[in-house]
Amino acid sequence: MTWREQQLPPEHPPVRSGGVGVLLVNLGTPDAPDTASVKRYLGEFLSDKRVVEIPDLIWQPILRAVILNTRPKKSAAAYQKVWTAEGSPLAVITRQQAEAMQARLGERVRVDWAMRYGTPSIPERLQVMMEAGCERIVLAPMYPQYSGATTATVVDKVGDTLRAMRWQPAMRTMPPYHDDPAHIEALAKDTARQLDALDFEPEVLLLSYHGMPERTLHLGDPYHCQCQKTSRLLEEAMARPGLRFVTTFQSRFGPAKWLEPATDNTLQKEAAAGTKRLAVAMPGFSADCLETLEEIAIEGRETFIEGGGEEFAALSCLNTSDAGLDMLETLLRRELSGWC
């Protein structure tokens, strides 16, 4: 019997406490690859003021009347191309990462996972962790580079959830790890492993990051600079003088100017300029998802080959590779220090 149980009167609700938890959070994904599910997901995602920084009075009518009536059908067709028997790749890989961290960190830490949009939600998983006795929780936004549209909105959602709790856990947030030596080492190792396994030798390695409106850079978002720094450190660490590294930004959304150069334009230009063998790595994504598996591995390949390229490879994200899990364990153990 614990000290707390001895002190409790018989009618007192059970008290579980003293536990330590880790919550991995990634962006979110629909529950199914159909139009209705994608519409629900996009409605939540694109209503986040951190993601679309246009006043509601102007944006909501456009979102409801135009975007949610056209994009979900198109996006659902894209999701169908990459969906697996276990579900959406992003959710499946994030769950596998959490399971692997549970095995590596042991029973003294409870490892869980959530999605910022859709399910499993942050409020639901935080509640479950509290009920299981987690009084201290490391929040791990699974984004190497910080942006308001990704990292910050995860922290906002946790804050909203804590606001409604009588008994709150203590929280620590894992910082962005774009330039962390453990991250660069993992990327360099895993990228080299994948390049060496190809049956051709690429002339160019495109490092393609998810884009953002260019305006966010001028407003002070560090995302662009952190992407550039990851690229520079990765190129230095890989030390392949015969390989030309090019940094680009993908997944343009809406009419505003986005960060450049754009990945699709660059694939066209490289092919037109005579590059025959090209590989793409996506060091801004901790897990493969629609944007890597469909937009780059399928659409990107078509763009490059139709433009005159001959060999194309889209490399996997760190996912549950040995290098990726070693890195995640290092980062989490650092954040957990002093807690267990």
Contact residues toward Fe ion (CB under 5 A) are 224-225
DSSP 259-280: SSSBHHHHHHHHHHTT--EEEE
- The reply to whether 187 sits near ligand L6N33NVT by the rule CB under 6 A is no
The SS3 call for residue 314 is strand
Of the pair 53, 203, the CB lying nearest ligand L6N33NVT is at 53
What are 272's two structure tokens?
């037109």
**Whole-number minimum distance, CB 276 to ligand L6N33NVT, in Å?**
29
Instruction: Name which of ligand L6N33NVT, Fe ion, none residue 225 binds, using a CB cut-off of 5 to 8 Å depending on partner kind.
Output: Fe ion
Phi first, then psi, for residue 187 (nearest 5°) are -65, -45
Distance CA 293, CA 29 (A): 14
What are 191's two structure tokens?
């990228």
- The reply to whether 88 sits near ligand L6N33NVT by the rule CB under 6 A is yes
Q: Helix axis angle, 223-238 relative to 181-196, nearest 10°?
A: 60
Q: How many CA atoms lie within 13 A of 278 on its CB side?
A: 30
Interaction residues for ligand L6N33NVT, span 115-154 (CB under 6 A) = 143, 147, 149-150
Phi first, then psi, for residue 15 (nearest 5°) are -120, 120
In the chain, alpha helices (H):
3-7, 35-45, 56-62, 68-82, 89-105, 122-131, 153-163, 181-196, 214-218, 223-238, 263-272, 290, 301-306, 322-336
Neighbouring C-beta atoms of residue 11, cutoff 10 Å:
5
Is 210 annotated in a binding site? The answer is yes
**Whole-number minimum distance, CB 288 to ligand L6N33NVT, in Å?**
8
**Whole-number minimum distance, CB 74 to Fe ion, in Å?**
15
**Whole-number minimum distance, CB 291 to ligand L6N33NVT, in Å?**
5
**Whole-number minimum distance, CB 89 to ligand L6N33NVT, in Å?**
6
**Whole-number minimum distance, CB 50 to ligand L6N33NVT, in Å?**
8
Is 12 annotated in a binding site? The answer is no
Binding map of ligand L6N33NVT across residues 5-44, x = CB under 6 A, - = no contact: ----------------------x-x------------x--
Distance CA 300, CA 257 (A): 21
- The reply to whether 289 sits near ligand L6N33NVT by the rule CB under 6 A is yes
Distance CA 58, CA 63 (A): 9
Of the pair 275, 292, the CB lying nearest ligand L6N33NVT is at 292
Sole binder of ligand L6N33NVT in the list 291, 300, 301, 303 (CB under 6 A): 291
The SS3 call for residue 51 is coil
Instruction: Name which of Fe ion, ligand L6N33NVT, none residue 88 binds, using a CB cut-off of 5 to 8 Å depending on partner kind.
Output: ligand L6N33NVT
Residue 207 to residues 74, 82, 131, 228: CA-CA distances in angstroms? 26, 21, 42, 10
- The reply to whether 253 sits near ligand L6N33NVT by the rule CB under 6 A is yes
Binding-site annotation: residue ranges = 210, 291
Binding-site annotation: residue ranges for Fe(2+) = 210, 291
Positions that interact with ligand L6N33NVT (CB under 6 A): 27, 29, 42, 51-52, 71, 75, 88, 90, 143, 147, 149-150, 210, 212-213, 251, 253, 284-285, 289-291
